[in-house]
Structure 1
Amino acid sequence: MDAEDSGAGLASSLTDLMTSLTVIFILLLVASLNNAQQEGEDTRNAILAELKKALQAFVTQGVEVKTDPKDPLTLLVLVPQGLLEFPFGKEDIPQDGMKFLESFIPKMAVTTCSPRFRKEINSIVVEGHTDSVGTDEYNIRLSQNRSLRVVFESLRVLSTQLDSETTPNLRSCFLDFLSANGRGKVEPIGDQTTEEGRARSRRVVFKIRVRSLEQRQLRVELEPPTPATAWSTE
């Protein structure tokens, strides 16, 4: 009986030890994941702050840059009121809007495609909107067409304004980020019972989204290793 009790006690002790080690391992793993998550969030916030600061140069043009309240990874680039607001039922860019894009787009492309930011940005969405008048189907199509017009004009500006050596690479980089989206009438601004409020709703917004922690980690994993530098011994 003593031998049996001793064996049972030893087995129980080993079980307790293994349980304790498992708990310690789990706690260390959770702590490590939390640290990695916090580090990723700190890096993301730093990148957003830097990008926002870089885009503040556009404030002199009346541009407003702020974090999207619906997505912490996204910066909203809001065009000055009246420049990219469309006439009722129209998708053609207003003349003042064309002039604004000619000045604004090259600067934004240079900023977002700079060595500091180009690997950190996930997308640049041109988002079109309408007022509350009309059906959902009609307004989704109209808002999509408005955003597409701005995308096409932005690419045209990059093709015609920059020097021939810079344009292909910069345009290609910007195009990699760029997309158009139509939100229809789901996000109106202002009082929709007034013409002024409806006019403010017929607009486009630029949304710059940085990569998430998972996307940044995947990018690092997929990047080919940097070749070793061959040093001359002459």
Structure 2
Amino acid sequence: MLKKNRRILSSTAAEESFWPSFTDLLTTIILVILLFLIITLFLRQSQLYRLEQQQEELDYYQSRIEQLMGVRAEIVRDISQTFAQSDLDIEVDQRTGAIRFSGSVLFGFGKDKIQPQFKEELEEFIPEYINVILAPEYRDHVSEIVVEGHTDDVGSYMYNLELSQQRAHSVVRYILGDDFPEYEYRDILKERITANGRSESNLIMNPDGSVNRDKSRRVEFKFRLKDDEVMEEMLEVINAS
């Protein structure tokens, strides 16, 4: 009888020691689950907040790009209207607003000295063009005005690269020089104009696929808006998402 009572007491003691241990384990498991749920909820909230921030940034950049695209369209429209009745031998790109002077009147063959007829055309063109590009309503959007020199495919690429660069420099030197007639916004133009030589990298082709060398030898005036910077910022936001 005594042995039986001892077995009962021993069994009861074992059960009593088991349940606290199980309860502690169960409490720990519950705490771990709660901690996991809290972390998961926090991460979801952080992710949602981040997505909301990114969406706001994307909306901002989209509105800025749309605004700048609208500005470009307005500038192109004004340029086209300004030179619609002009006798100048120029072509206006209706999409970008780039203006092309082409033909043999620009420079002598293999030369970078501006010919008299081209000087006359520049003296007529520049005041009207700058009045549009650097008008008060546009100048804060325009980051750069680029004079590009282009050649045909006669000669090596490096020879044509140097020649096209020298021709672009000649144009810029002339329109900013003392011999050029006065025009509005000259000081602002000095801060924003650049000269680039493109060699034969952008030839103009005939319908039959041959090179139109006369049209390829040209000078182009282009303008850049600040949309390039906005696009770069937007790409950074997209890549970080």
Q: TM-score, normalised by structure 2?
A: 0.74
Size of the aligned set, in residue pairs, is 203
In the TM superposition, residue 158 of structure 1 has moved relative to its aligned partner by 8.6
Pairing 1:148–2:163 present: no
Q: What do residues 132-185 of structure 1 show as CA deviations (whole Å, max 9, x unaligned)?
A: 1112222111111111121122224895234xxxx5xx2110111111111112
Matched letter for residue 65 of structure 1: D
User: Residue 60 of structure 1 corresponds to which residue in structure 2?
Assistant: 85
Pairing 1:112–2:140 present: no
Assess if the C-alpha contact under 8 Å between 1:66 and 1:77 holds in 2: no
Provide the C-alpha distance between the structure 1 equivalents of 2:199 and 2:84, rounded to a whole number of angstroms: 27
User: Residue 145 of structure 2 corresponds to which residue in structure 1?
Assistant: 124
In the TM superposition, residue 78 of structure 1 has moved relative to its aligned partner by 2.1
In the TM superposition, residue 86 of structure 1 has moved relative to its aligned partner by 3.2
Provide the C-alpha distance between the structure 1 equivalents of 2:94 and 2:63, rounded to a whole number of angstroms: 23
Q: 2:98 aligns with which of 76, 79, 94?
A: 76
Pairing 1:161–2:177 present: no
Q: 1:40 aligns with which of 64, 72, 77?
A: 64
When the two chains are superposed, the root-mean-square deviation of aligned CA atoms in Å is 2.9
- Gaps spanning 5+ residues in structure 2: where? 1-22, 234-241
- Gaps spanning 5+ residues in structure 1: where? 69-74, 219-234
Provide the C-alpha distance between the structure 2 equivalents of 1:117 and 1:21, rounded to a whole number of angstroms: 43
User: Residue 199 of structure 1 corresponds to which residue in structure 2?
Assistant: 214
Assess if the C-alpha contact under 8 Å between 2:150 and 2:219 holds in 1: yes
Matched letter for residue 138 of structure 1: Y
Provide the C-alpha distance between the structure 1 equivalents of 2:50 and 2:211, rounded to a whole number of angstroms: 59
Provide the C-alpha distance between the structure 1 equivalents of 2:165 and 2:229, rounded to a whole number of angstroms: 30
Q: What do residues 177-218 of structure 1 show as CA deviations (whole Å, max 9, x unaligned)?
A: 111111112222135x999921221111111111136469x9
Distance 1:198 1:213, change over 3 A: closer
Provide the C-alpha distance between the structure 1 equivalents of 2:202 and 2:220, rounded to a whole number of angstroms: 11
Q: 1:102 aligns with which of 115, 123, 141?
A: 123
In the TM superposition, residue 11 of structure 1 has moved relative to its aligned partner by 1.3
Distance 1:43 1:206, change over 3 A: same
In the TM superposition, residue 102 of structure 1 has moved relative to its aligned partner by 0.9
- The structure with more radius of gyration: 2
Provide the C-alpha distance between the structure 2 equivalents of 1:84 and 1:150, rounded to a whole number of angstroms: 13
Matched letter for residue 125 of structure 2: F
User: Residue 232 of structure 1 corresponds to which residue in structure 2?
Assistant: none
Provide the C-alpha distance between the structure 2 equivalents of 1:92 and 1:137, rounded to a whole number of angstroms: 19
Assess if the C-alpha contact under 8 Å between 2:123 and 2:180 holds in 1: no
Provide the C-alpha distance between the structure 1 equivalents of 2:228 and 2:205, rounded to a whole number of angstroms: 36
